[in-house]
A = this chain, B = another copy of it.
Amino acid sequence: MTEKSKKTSIYDIAKALGISASTVSRALQNHTSISDSRKELIREKAKELNYRPNLVAVNLKTGKTRTIGVLVPNINRFFFSSVIEGVEDEAYRRNYDVLICQSKDNKDREEKILSNLSQGKVDGIIASVAYPDNNLSMYEELVDMEIPLVFFDRASVDAIQVGSVRVDDYKGGYSAVKHLLLQGNKKIFHFSGPLEVTVWRNRYRGWRDALEDEGIEIQDHWVQTESTDKESGRKMMRAILERGDLPDAIFCAGDYAALGVIQELRENGLRVPEDIAIVGFANEPIDEMVRPTISSICQSSFRMGSLAAKMLFDNLETKEAMVNITIAPELKVRESSFFDRRVKK
């Protein structure tokens, strides 16, 4: 019996039943035009022969893959994996598959990936642009090819006509600083990444405007834009410590950087938030563990993912228009984390 048979196709089961392949195809798709008795017969035979539809053939025929591509800088970072979780959840619900790619914030790699993604394996793409995000020409090509595209988090969308889901970074920065001001802080520094990058620039503007609205004069060294990883956080803090001009508080545009800052401060005998308050743009887990004073949190990254996915799927299926969604950042305030409690003992 084991005739070295490759794979059973609808043709095989048609032959076995002495009927045509199209009848089999229709039966398996539950067409109304097939009698129930035959449907049953065909399904049984299909099971017997252990038939598995070949989705690649279906894709080729229909021109749809029911697959979307997701491009992120790095899967491993909590923010992105949360977004992907949201995307995958929505995709699973609607019977789509998710192809995943990492740009590693490398423009060459990003380009190769986008080129690959434009070769028909996906129906649409959800992407967070690699840094620096000021040149979107590769994405414009996708738009020209009429591949539906949704940005999330990164990339200014003003220049390109696609969907997007983003946090209101300006507002986040502004309200974080406002909060610090209300607590009596005046000298509020800003740690961030390169200001060419849209998100950093917007958070920077929020910070700046909040201070200026208060009539506080900003000095150059108040702004450090090394990067937003933890090591950079330490570095930026170290630079300030060496300079000797300490702030009342710091608005830290990246969550991992905030960790580095805290660590550096503590190793130098400074307490957070007693000596220097920190506010960061934080994601949940870090937030929960070492939450500084408060965090203006990127409204559930999971939700960003499902929003982006919904938009893309709706566009794919009902040609619903792409839109630009801005999520207001939620300001979470915690007077102390369980770690802070230990200090007070």
Q: Which residues of A are at the interface with B, using a C-beta cutoff of 8 A?
A: 50, 52-57, 59-60, 65, 67, 74-78, 81-82, 84-85, 88-89, 92, 97-102, 109, 113, 116, 118-121, 145, 259, 263, 266-267, 285-286, 289-290, 302, 338-339, 341-343
User: What residues of B have a CB within 8 angstroms of the CB of A116 in the complex?
Assistant: 97
Distance A302 CA – B118 CA, assembled complex (angstroms)? 28
Contact of A290 among B77, B82, B109, B289 (CB under 8 A): B289
A interface secondary structure, majority: helix
> Are A88's CB and B59's CB within 8 A?
no
**Copies of this chain in the oligomer:** 2
Report 16 cross-chain contacts, Cβ distance below 8 Å, ordered by A residue. Answer: A52-B145, A53-B119, A54-B60, A54-B119, A57-B120, A75-B81, A75-B84, A75-B85, A75-B88, A76-B82, A92-B101, A99-B100, A259-B289, A263-B338, A339-B342, A342-B342
> Are A102's CB and B85's CB within 8 A?
yes
> Are A121's CB and B97's CB within 8 A?
yes
> Are A98's CB and B99's CB within 8 A?
yes
> Are B54's CB and A120's CB within 8 A?
yes
> Are A100's CB and B102's CB within 8 A?
no
User: What residues of B have a CB within 8 angstroms of the CB of A54 in the complex?
Assistant: 60, 119-120
User: What residues of B have a CB within 8 angstroms of the CB of A67 in the complex?
Assistant: 99, 121
Distance A97 CA – B68 CA, assembled complex (angstroms)? 12
Distance A74 CA – B290 CA, assembled complex (angstroms)? 24
Tell me, rounded to whole Å, the shortest Cβ–Cβ distance linking A109 to chain B.
7
User: What residues of B have a CB within 8 angstroms of the CB of A97 in the complex?
Assistant: 99, 101, 116, 121
User: What residues of B have a CB within 8 angstroms of the CB of A121 in the complex?
Assistant: 55-56, 67, 97
CB-nearest residue of chain B relative to A69?
B97
User: What residues of B have a CB within 8 angstroms of the CB of A65 in the complex?
Assistant: 56
Distance A109 CA – B88 CA, assembled complex (angstroms)? 13
Contact A56/B120 with A75-B88, A92-B109, A266-B341 known, Cβ cut-off 8 Å: yes
> Are B78's CB and A74's CB within 8 A?
no
User: What residues of B have a CB within 8 angstroms of the CB of A50 in the complex?
Assistant: 145
CB-nearest residue of chain B relative to A65?
B56
Contact A338/B57 with A75-B81, A102-B85 known, Cβ cut-off 8 Å: no
User: What residues of B have a CB within 8 angstroms of the CB of A119 in the complex?
Assistant: 52-55
> Are B99's CB and A342's CB within 8 A?
no
Distance A116 CA – B77 CA, assembled complex (angstroms)? 28
User: What residues of B have a CB within 8 angstroms of the CB of A74 in the complex?
Assistant: 85
Tell me, rounded to whole Å, the shortest Cβ–Cβ distance linking A100 to chain B.
5
Beyond the given pairs A53-B120, A78-B81, 9 more chain A to chain B contacts, judged by CB atoms under 8 angstroms and listed by A's residue number, are A54-B60, A57-B60, A75-B84, A76-B82, A92-B109, A92-B113, A97-B121, A98-B99, A339-B339
CB-nearest residue of chain B relative to A57?
B60
CB-nearest residue of chain B relative to A290?
B289
Distance A106 CA – B25 CA, assembled complex (angstroms)? 31
User: What residues of B have a CB within 8 angstroms of the CB of A81 in the complex?
Assistant: 75-78, 81
User: What residues of B have a CB within 8 angstroms of the CB of A339 in the complex?
Assistant: 290, 339, 342
Tell me, rounded to whole Å, the shortest Cβ–Cβ distance linking A230 to chain B.
9
